[in-house]
């Protein structure tokens, strides 16, 4: 197994991407408290992350709504179920922790959904920023609430932005 990493600049700060045998396994904001130890990142490279760089650039330019990348995120079964649900939340929309818990079949799993969002190893690509608290409250995000707000505003439909002006 060959593990490599790179740093990708974004409008909300540097992102660290980690791949194993060329497949994205982690994407997180540089300086994240719970990021992996430097030896776990593998070799630093510039090459090999071109498609991720391209798709992130398109996303931040408002030209891409969905990522089309192979991802191999490590997690337990429940986390992987939550991450699958996150990937199904349409661009420009949000879901609450409770709504995702209901989709899992048990409304009491809202805290487990929150924990899985917090453990999401592939930020932005697996859009945990689209999960909000009851009533649309901005709550928890591994990248910080300012970044979450930025990402949600980036994805906000034009009609909704215009409606906020009046």
User: Distance between CA atoms of 130 and 139, rounded to whole angstroms?
Assistant: 11
11 burial type by CB count under 10 A (0-12 exposed, 13-18 middle, 19+ buried): exposed
Closest by CA to 91, choosing from 54, 135, 134, 58, is 58
Judged by DSSP in three states, 28 sits in strand
- Concerning whether 128 is annotated as a catalytic residue, the answer is yes
Per-residue tokens: 144: 């910080």
Instruction: Enumerate helices (H) and strands (E) in the chain, giving the number of each.
Output: 6, 6
User: Distance between CA atoms of 81 and 108, rounded to whole angstroms?
Assistant: 15
| C-alpha neighbours within 13 Å on the C-beta side of residue 93 | 10
Neighbours of 108 (CB within 10 A): 9
The answer to whether residues 141 and 29 touch, using CB atoms and an 8 Å cutoff, is no
Which residue out of 123, 125, 128, 142 is catalytically annotated? Answer: 128
Residues assigned a catalytic role: 128
């Amino acid at each position: 197994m060959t593990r490599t990493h790179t740093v990708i600049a974004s409008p909300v700060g540097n992102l660290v991407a980690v791949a194993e045998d060329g497949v994205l396994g982690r994407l997180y904001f540089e300086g994240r408290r719970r990021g992996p130890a430097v030896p776990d990142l593998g070799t630093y490279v510039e090459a090999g992350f071109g498609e991720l760089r391209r798709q992130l650039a398109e996303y931040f330019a408002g030209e891409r709504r969905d990522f089309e990348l192979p991802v191999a995120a490590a997690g337990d079964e429940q986390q992987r179920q939550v991450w699958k649900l996150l990937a199904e939340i349409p661009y420009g929309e949000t879901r609450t922790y409770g709504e995702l818990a209901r989709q899992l079949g048990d409304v009491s799993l809202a805290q487990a959904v929150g924990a899985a969002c917090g453990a999401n190893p592939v930020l932005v690509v697996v859009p945990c920023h689209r999960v909000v608290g009851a009533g649309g409250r901005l709550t928890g995000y591994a990248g910080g609430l300012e970044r979450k707000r930025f990402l949600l505003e980036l994805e906000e439909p034009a009609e909704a932005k215009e409606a906020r002006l009046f």
